[in-house]
Amino acid sequence: MIEASFASDKGITRSNNEDACLVMPQDRLYVVADGVGGNNSGEVASRAAVTCVADYVRRHDLSKIEDETELAASFEDCISEVNTSILSIAREFPDSRGMATTLVICYINDNKAYFVNIGDSRAYLKRGSSIFQVTEDHSYVNTLLKLGVITPDEAKVHERGNVITRAVGAEENVRPDFYQIDLDEGDVILLCTDGLYNEVTEDEMCELIDTGHDMKTLALDLVEQANSAGGKDNITVVCLKNRREAADGQ
């Protein structure tokens, strides 16, 4: 059984919220998007993305796909549809030209979690006393980090820290990354935009998770912590906990 909740806030300094999220417990699908673009078009892009994902899932029964390669191909097809839709909106409405969005998706089936991502919105997994980033950022800074040009500490304060190298709607063809993890009882998954992880450290995430609160409280606490640390960007988080299902009669 997956306990799920979410929270989203515009933060302290931003005038509007260009993040979006989608929680579909009946389909075991969870999505976070962070829009980019002028004239509030980032908001248009992120909301269009989660709407298109929801539409795709309603038309395709993912639970019937048993082969992981086939499942990855289905998500690639989904992302392609989302990309085409955002490009179409941008062409139709001049004010939306240049808009794009990050996208991170978690699909859970048969005690396995599947992740799809484009951009720098992240998925984390907390297991026991450890937390780690599942997805890899598609960002300029992460590219420099992988090449050894900068250190992790330099990456945190780099002047081009907000530049992403891959986004939905940024080009005609977009390629997502795909990950799969076997879940243990008690595992906690966080899907979030950079407004969370740029303000809240992994150690702080662990501390809040370890308080043992339900996922609704955890989501709200994470957003509050990010705002307390500065809230310089929109903050969105989806919190998921893998709980053992109670036996019949209990």
For residues 227 and 158, what is the distance between their CA atoms, to the nearest angstrom? 21
**pLDDT at residue 250, as a whole number:** 38
Domains of the chain, earliest start first: 2-242 (3.60.40.10)
Q: What is the pLDDT of residue 248?
A: 42
Rounded average pLDDT per 10-residue block, the chain, 250 residues:
97 95 96 86 96 96 92 97 96 90 96 96 97 95 85 80 89 95 97 96 97 96 98 97 63
Q: Which long-range contacts (CB under 8 A, 24 or more apart) does 64-72 make?
A: 68/114, 68/180, 71/107, 71/114, 72/114, 72/178
Please tell me the predicted confidence (pLDDT) of residue 142: 84
Instruction: Please name the amino acid found at residue 42.
Output: G
